[in-house]
């Protein structure tokens, strides 16, 4: 589901799924998974910057992953800290920014730039 807010689009929310289903979903194209949770203060810190980051890196399809709703998927993917980002291209993981530290817009942009 895509959510519109003002003049910009907020990323699609990933449904609850397992790793095999996720790999099928991201099998073609470039995807950036954004793992977060509503209760997470560091996630709330980066969320306001996400529409701008998403617009700047429009070659990626951004998917918001609620860590609590997808706790099994997060465990399968070794996502033990949030907010975290995992990049896929044509079904293969190409990079990850996974830890429990607060992330700035610049840190997220540096991560995405390092993938190209």
Residue with tokens 């530290």, as numbered in its chain: 101
Length of the chain: 116
Give the Cβ contact number of residue 84 at 10 Å. 24
What residues are annotated to the active site? 40, 43
Could you count the other beta carbons within 10 Å of the beta carbon of residue 4? 8
Cis peptide before 83 (omega within 30 of 0): yes
Yes or no: say if 107 and 54 are a contact pair by the CB < 8 Å rule. no
């Amino acid at each position: 589901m895509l959510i519109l807010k003002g003049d910009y689009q907020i990323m699609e929310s990933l449904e609850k799924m397992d790793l095999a289903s996720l790999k099928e979903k991201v099998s073609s194209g470039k995807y950036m998974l954004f793992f977060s949770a509503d209760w997470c203060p560091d996630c709330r810190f980066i969320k306001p910057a996400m529409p701008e980051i998403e617009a700047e890196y429009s070659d990626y399809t951004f998917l918001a992953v609620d860590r609590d709703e997808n706790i099994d998927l997060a465990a399968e993917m070794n996502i033990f800290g949030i907010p975290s980002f995992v990049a896929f291209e044509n079904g293969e993981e190409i990079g990850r920014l996974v830890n429990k530290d607060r992330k700035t817009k610049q840190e997220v942009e540096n991560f995405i730039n390092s993938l190209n």
